[in-house]
Structure 1
Amino acid sequence: MQKNQVSEFTSGGEAHTQREILSQPELWQEVYHLVGQESAGIAGFLNPILQKENLRVLLTGAGTSGYIGDAAQGTLQKVWRRPVQAVPTTEIVTQPETVFLRSVPTLLISFARSGNSPESVETVRLADAFCDEIYHLIITCNSEGALANMNAAAPGTIYRIILPEATNDKSLAMTSSFTCMLLSVLLVAHVDVLDKELDKIQRIVDQGNTILEEKSLLEALVLKGFERVVFLGSGEFLGIARECQLKLLELTDGKQVCMSDSFLGFRHGPRAIVNDHTLMVYLFSRKPHIMRYERDLVEDISRDAREIQSLQIGGVNELALPHSSKIELDIDPENPYQIVPATLVGQLLGYYSAVHRGIDPDSPSLSGSISRVVQGVNIYTEYNS
């Protein structure tokens, strides 16, 4: 695949966050080739497990890593035809008995940038303790992390995918690590047909570069000084909406009021957050059936007398909304990877929001209350239900 280059940001100096955002389309190509190189090992590990009739699949991680499961769950369940559930490690460590089923064979897929978060390590231990038959697929960006170096409870029950070192973001907020881990698990679901996925990967590389080329539009929206930002997505895009909200929250040190929801869920109360200084960000589905529901809501909001402003990502060309900006993407309804580049929207809005507030995007937490690897979590290993 040909590498695509995008120019540097016009605002902000040299920074880890800037570089890590810009590097993603190229890194997605590297992840595709890495999974391809390991395809035999991945398939050899997974295929016998996926043959188990009553297999259950759990996707887990903390914070941003947890949203990978939210975004990937639907695709994996459709491809594997097995129950797939996303449960964050932060839920598992406090109440494992409500998550694990002892007699049910379980594949636990763990996502972690550093692999050193206490909850990530403890979740693996709890899975071994609470399941009679447990298998681990670990996807991480850090070859030296605790998760990448854990031993299997039984031979042949663990497989690790270590992503390129460049995905191990140095900044506080996860950017390339999120999109690359998300892409990797989607590729794992298609590991037996990876050669047929090449064109789809090139499509998302092009889409990522299209979004990066619209940096000035996103910066201009930030400069309007919206009081509130709302991200909406359906299905797998709901996980992306949640991640976009978190990026904007983290990178502004909590100063930007923001939220996320599904298009239909937003009608049931959360719409109360909207005022005349709100930016609505619509992450439109690539599926026509879902888009009908999304269209009904956005057209309703467009008729609001307060002239609510919006940003459309994807969608149909004939949808013309007043007071709205749009990033055109060449959408393919059969391309499951298109959720990946949509994440860049939240990253860029977060980056510019930090820069124009005088906040260092690499270290936005002025109080030190959040950190690159979570601090202050005590793990209590003597579990009593």
Structure 2
Amino acid sequence: MQYLGLEIENLKSLGAIDTAREISQQPEIWLKIWDLIKNQQKALSSFIQDHQYDKIILTGAGTSAYIGESLEGTFYRNLHHNVTAIPTTHLVSHPYDYLSGNESILLISFARSGNSPESKAAVKLADNISKTCHHLIITCNMDGDLATYESKNKKYILLLPKETNDKSLAMTSSYTSMLLSGLLLSRLNELDELKAQVQLASDYAKGILTDHLNEIKEIADLPFKRAVFLGSGPLLGTATESQLKLQELTDGSIICKHESFLGFRHGPKAVVDNETLIVFILSNSTYASKYEHDLMFAMDKGKKALAMVAIAERIDFDIPVGYKISHTQNGLHLEEDFMTLPGVVPGQLLGFFKSLSLGLMPDQPSTSGAISRVVQGVNIYDLP
């Protein structure tokens, strides 16, 4: 049996079996997530809709925070509510910038383990400062501190399938499973119609894991020392997560940045040199893509990158890049919000194969122990 084109015994010897399995399982896991949300549709609808909130906060730490970055727009558009994505790492150090005793909030927490110090501190601060705070906790670990948190206010624990609780250091299937949960939660009244979108996202990811696997290996073998990931709208969160995957799986050997297509022109473009890989994660919004195409054609001005990669639902137009990863040639359409699911898989694979090429173990790439599966050494202090 193989994962990502490598035999299981080989993956074990390379310290890569968990990461390879967790990346590979995503297309099937997403279908399970739809079933899970469908089975709890009425209870979730009741919890979210039967209370009045002044605002909804999407929160998490690290990778889990990037989920909120991708979901902020879809929650705003579909729930017609004041929604903001705030990392727990911001909220804990400056709680009064985000929480008020005059406001009732719905705090939606995303957490793989639920044991990060900031995640635990954030829910307590929200309870203590807000007028009222109802908690919707989406987690992969039934035994984690968030899953067992006792709140003075109402809470709902959405526990994802146990296989989403990634064993490896880098979050992969846990990230996309929580992201998909959020996408479906924002549109609970459309679940039946959205099943086809989940299936299509799954099919697109399967295509990347088969049809484009060798191409991504080839890109990972290029001698780049920097990488820039660009995305717009919900795909900005995808770009953020993609750059983290490459950076942490290479133990910081590859320095990565993320930006929006328009934002990249305002200074960050200066990082480009002949050792830089640029990855364009393209929207399938006709309007947004105009800005994205302008930027790609403007890349011939200034210092040239080592290589440029485009990831898109379809690429039926001329763009000046060396590598093109497209999801479909059949005229199918995946909503832009759901593009965040297959859109992150190339970044995960780039991190995985670059880690191997550098002689690292993807399951535990941090040779110094500087980063760990659950962050260590964070002190939480009482508010004055």
TM over 0.5: yes
User: Hey, what's the Cα distance between the residues in 1 that align with 2:227 and 2:55?
Assistant: 36
Q: Structure 1 residues 88 and 306 mapped into 2: Cα distance closer, same or farther (>3 Å)?
A: closer
Deviations 1:292-339 (A, max 9, x none): 001100011146673652111116534323342111123626452221
Q: Amino acid of the residue matched to residue 172 of structure 1?
A: L
Secondary structure (helix, strand or coil) at the match of 2:11 reads coil
Query: Which residues in structure 2 correspond to 1:1-385 (within 5 Å)?
Result: 8-10=4-6, 13-14=11-12, 15-49=17-51, 52=52, 55-154=54-153, 157-213=154-210, 214-302=212-300, 306=304, 309-314=307-312, 317-330=315-328, 332=333, 334=335, 336-381=337-382, 383-384=383-384
1:220-240 alpha-carbon deviations (Å, 9 max, x no partner): 011111121110001111111
- In 2, the alpha carbon distance for the partners of 1:120 and 1:322 equals 43
Gapped runs of 5+ residues in structure 2? Answer: none
Counterpart residue type for residue 72 of structure 1: L
How far does residue 185 in structure 1 lie from its aligned partner after superposition? Answer: 0.9
Q: Distance in 2 between matches of 1:187 and 1:319?
A: 32
Normalised by the size of structure 2, how large is the TM-score? 0.94
User: 2:273, 2:303 within 8 Å by CA — same for their partners in 1?
Assistant: no
C-alpha distance in structure 2 between counterparts of 1:335 and 1:325, whole Å: 22
Separation in structure 1 between the aligned mates of residue 248 and residue 35 of structure 2, nearest angstrom: 31
* Cα deviation 1:155-193 (Å, max 9, x = unaligned): xx1001000000000001100000000000111111122
Counterparts of 1:80 and 1:379, CA distance in 2: 33
1:241 maps to amino acid: A
Normalised TM-score (structure 1): 0.93
Change (3 A) 1:95 1:310: same
Is the deviation greater in 357-366 or in 187-196? 187-196
Give secondary structure in 2 for the equivalent of 1:148: coil
Task: Answer whether contact 1:287 1:333 (CA < 8 A) is retained.
Answer: no
Contact 1:307 1:323 in 2 (8 A): no
Distance change (3 Å), C-alpha of 1:283 and 1:335: closer
The answer to whether the Cα contact below 8 Å between 1:61 and 1:110 also exists between their aligned partners in 2 is: yes
Q: Distance in 1 between matches of 2:303 and 2:191?
A: 49
Q: Distance in 2 between matches of 1:295 and 1:279?
A: 18
Distance of 1:313 and 1:239 partners within structure 2? 15
Contact kept? 2:315, 2:324, Cα under 8 Å: no
CA contact (8 A) 2:22 2:166 kept: yes
Looking at structure 1, the residues matched to 127 and 304 of structure 2 have their Cα atoms a distance apart, in angstroms, of 54
Secondary structure (helix, strand or coil) at the match of 1:58 reads strand
Structure 1 stretches of 4+ moved >6 Å: none
The alpha-carbon deviation at position 10 of structure 1 amounts to: 3.7
Contact 1:67/1:242 (<8 A) preserved = yes
SS at match of 1:258: strand
Determine the C-alpha separation between the residues in 2 that align with 1:21 and 1:57.
30
Distance 1:147 1:316 in 2: 40
Residues 136 and 157, structure 2, Cα contact 8 Å, conserved in 1: yes
Q: In structure 2, the residue corresponding to 1:13 is in which secondary structure?
A: helix
3-state secondary structure, aligned to 1:146: coil
Distance 1:229 1:245, change over 3 A: same
For residue 9 of structure 1, report the CA deviation from its aligned partner: 2.4
Contact 1:9 1:18 survives alignment (8 Å): no
Asked if 2 retains the 8 angstrom alpha-carbon contact of 1:301 and 1:308, the reply is no
Q: Is the 8 A contact 2:283 2:336 kept in 1?
A: no
How many Å separate the matches in 2 of 1:43 and 1:285?
Answer: 30
RMSD over equivalenced CA pairs, Å: 1.7
8 A contact 1:302–1:308 mirrored in 2: no
CA distance in 2, matches of 1:329, 1:6: 22
Paired residues of 1:139 and 1:161 also in contact (CA < 8 A) = yes
Partner-residue secondary structure (3-state), 2:299: helix
SS in 2 for 1:332: coil
Change (3 A) 1:301 1:219: same
The answer on whether the counterparts of 1:291 and 1:315 sit within 8 Å (CA) in structure 2 is no
